[in-house]
A and B are shown apart, each in its own frame.
Chain A
Amino acid sequence: MTGALLAACGTSEKKTGGSAKDKGSGKLAVAVYGGPTTKTWTNAFGNPFSKDNSGIQLSISGVPNPSSLLYTQKGNVQFDLLLATASDVAQLAEGDGSQYTPLDPADLKRASHIREGLVRKNKSGKWVGVPVALTYYGIVVNSDKYDVKDVTSWADLADPRYEDQYLMNGAAYFSTTDLPMFALANGGSKTNLEPGFKLLKRTLPNVKSVATSLANAASMLKAGDAGIAPFFFSQYSQLLDSKVPVEMALPNEGAYAGPLFLVLSPNSKNRENAMAFLDSVLLPERQEAVQGPSAYIPVVDDAKLIDKLQTRSGFSSVESLYENMTFPDYAYLAAHREKNTKRIENMLASEK
């Protein structure tokens, strides 16, 4: 019900499309994250798709958490395609399959171009969603306060020099993104997260606040209220575009790889249009065009890294970037998400 209300009241919808006489027909509703993401998706993916398929009435809407609608609007999802994180997709893959429509790569013309290791399959070997973008998660510092060169490991977040300066992610988010990196930095592994909790305990005195949004984080970093925070590269790029004085470090343990997927809703009546849209999103020119405004890393093997991202990331190719990313065990993280979230909440509550 909450999701339905959010979808009904709190969405910003951008419509593109033409008359019924044009190429293609019917409708297609896509849910992405709100704010700048909606605009980026509309400009980089929506408008070119509508130009090529002018008979399809495409709407791209921004919602706070698109994949949550697969649960909250159970069986009556108002969108055909919904953006989801790797953890969301891993959670869907482990479920009973009623929250999404499994996909067959044979229905997707560009399936063979998707880079290895990004696809998530369910128990029947079908695709849960299609990876459409990739970003990575590193550590950002306020360059007016700290030297980015001092940050070489995720364990540096526990350094006393950052006392009351660490902008932490919410417990639910932390459990799937930060925790695996904390574990790796403290001698753990992809499925041994215990050392991650130990490192978190040492890091707690540095916690200033929980970032509730990019705008919130940007204002805190800009004002000097926080000095250090883990961020996705795409968000970091937006901070730079907003002239926030920040620099990003890529820790030795690697950066957390965060692919984004489009998941087909279980009740979608526009499957054909959805597949056409997915193919369109996976075209190399679209994957390159979206990099400017969003800093998404391409997920297909025939798209290049644009100059702006080469400069900002310090890597000259998509391949070199992939080599410096760590792909955690998303399924393991999703399976333990709830338990780990509670544990983190309790740690935060007991640490005064």
Chain B
Amino acid sequence: MPIASPQETAERPQTRGREVAGDGSSLTRFIGRRGWIVLAIPGLVFMAVVFVVGFVSLLWTSFDSAAGRGSFDAYTELFGSPAFWDAVLRTLRLSFLTVLGCLVVATPIAYFIARTESSRRDRYMLLILVPWLSSVVVRSFGWQIILGSHGVVNWTLLRLHIVEEPVTLVQNEFGILVGLISVLAPFMIITTMSSLLAIDVRLEESAALLGAGPFKIIRTIVVPLSRRGIATGCILVFLMSNAVVVTPLMLGGARSATVATMMYTQLLELYNFQQGAALAFILVVLVVPPTLMMTWWGQRSSLTDGKA
């Protein structure tokens, strides 16, 4: 790795975390700790109303049946249904694979953008955000065409004689996975990039000067120092892929129901609010352990926020 000139080093991102912290502490001195609490109250009240009240009413609804309140009917029915367990396993499997896929796709892009000059960085970020200008429905429909038996992927595979006949790439879990990764990867890019920007690039350069190879630098410096951002990205992607409805509906097949699509059926097709609420509550319970695990992974390193 070539040694950077002083000018180049000056252009590159430095210890931004410390600068922000400095600004934050002066702001805290100006407003005062109590001032911050007062400012946070409207937001906290809003969150309490939207989340806590919503969550409690959801739980309440799930125990409300024709037989009266306090009924476990919705849960016992679900737990006795093979389709439910099938959907639970598929939901978790797809969510973990989506996180993995996003990590593979998004991390190199985030690193590339983070290590680009700031003037170009905005343009790249715009490119990342452009797909968000269209709805998920349109993007999923696009994937249906691209991955269909007459789509560009199958056309290429057939032309290159890699396959003899079109491969089923959509209307199955693979189709859902591709759709989810394409929709959610930008979240991973943004969160990871914010962590990468906080790393002092001179650390990587020093490691290279001392003979560390690229993989060692990534393993010992980049990943530990961007762990929080990566973990946040993983959590965001995991939570969103669990709850997403449109993509599995459009890209999954007849046998690719997820907990979220089951919930959609119960609420909007069968008007069974008890079971819809029960499914929603189960989904919340399902995502808690992996989310805690990812949070723990993000926090466990002592090498955080550039304080190596």
Q: Once bound together, how far apart are the Cα atoms of A219 and B271, in whole Å?
A: 29
Taking a contact as CB atoms under 8 Å apart, the answer to whether B270 and A172 are in contact is: yes
B273 close to A345 (CB less than 8 A): no
Tell me which residues from 77 to 129 in chain B have a Cβ below 8 Å from any Cβ of chain A. Answer: 77, 81-83, 86-87
Contacts of B141 in A (CB 8 A): 215-216, 219
| Contact mask for chain A residues 56-75; partner B; CB cutoff 8 A; 1 contact, 0 none | 00000000110010011000
Tell whether, in the assembled complex, residue A223 and residue B149 are in contact, meaning their CB atoms are under 8 Å apart: yes
- Contact between B270 and A345 (Cβ–Cβ < 8 Å)? no
Interface residue A337 (Cβ < 8 Å from any Cβ of B): yes
Q: For residue B272, which residue of chain A has the nearest CB?
A: A338
Q: Are B271 and A349 in contact (CB under 8 A)?
A: no
Is B212 close to A, CB under 8 A?
no
Answer whether residue A91 sits at the interface, using C-beta atoms and an 8 A cutoff.
yes
Q: Is B210 an interface residue (CB 8 A)?
A: no
User: Given contacts A208-B171, A223-B150, are A345 and B253 in contact (CB under 8 A)?
Assistant: no
Q: How far is the CA of A168 from the CA of B171 in the complex (A)?
A: 12
Are the C-beta atoms of B269 and A170 separated by less than 8 Å?
A: yes
- Does chain A have a CB within 8 A of B287? no
How many angstroms from the CA of A349 to the CA of B272 in the assembled complex? 20
Interface residues of A in 284-331 (CB under 8 A from B): none
Chain A residues with CB under 8 A of B269:
65, 68, 170, 172-173, 341
Q: CB < 8 Å: which of B81, B171, B254 contacts A225?
A: B171
B241 at the interface (CB under 8 A from A): no
B273, A71: Cβ atoms under 8 Å? yes
- Please, which residues of chain A bring their CB within 8 A of the CB of B83? 342, 345-346, 348-349
- The smallest beta-carbon distance between A337 and chain B, in angstroms, is 6
Interface size class of A (residues with CB under 8 A): 35 or more
Measured CB to CB, the nearest residue on chain B to A174 is B254
A208 adjacent to B250 (CB under 8 Å) = no
Confirm or deny: A212 has a beta carbon within 8 angstroms of a beta carbon on chain B: yes
Contact residue range for chain B? 20 to 34
Contacting residues, chain B, for A224 (C-beta < 8 A): 149-150
- Known contacts being A210-B253, A215-B141, A223-B149, is A64 close to B268, with CB within 8 Å? yes
Q: Closest Cβ of chain A: how far from B144's Cβ, in Å?
A: 6
Judged by a CB distance under 8 angstroms, whether B249 is at the interface is yes
Q: Does A124 contact B (CB under 8 A)?
A: no
Contacts A2-B267, A71-B271, A215-B141 given; does A352 touch B255 at CB 8 Å: yes
Asked whether A348 lies within 8 Å of B255 as measured between CB atoms, the reply is yes
Q: Does A207 contact B (CB under 8 A)?
A: yes
The listed residue (A219, A337, A342, A346) touching B144 by CB distance below 8 A is: A219
Structural contact, A223 and B254, CB atoms closer than 8 A: no
Which residues from chain A contact B294 at a C-beta distance below 8 Å?
none
Cβ of A242 to closest chain B Cβ, rounded Å: 15
Instruction: Known contacts A346-B81, A348-B257, A349-B82; decide if A68 and B149 are in contact (CB<8 Å).
Output: no
Closest chain A residue to B271 by CB distance?
A71
Give the contacts of B250-304 with A (CB-CB under 8 A).
250, 252-255, 257, 262, 265, 267-273
Known A68-B271, A170-B265: A342·B254 in contact at CB below 8 Å: no
A219, B149: Cα distance in complex, Å = 11
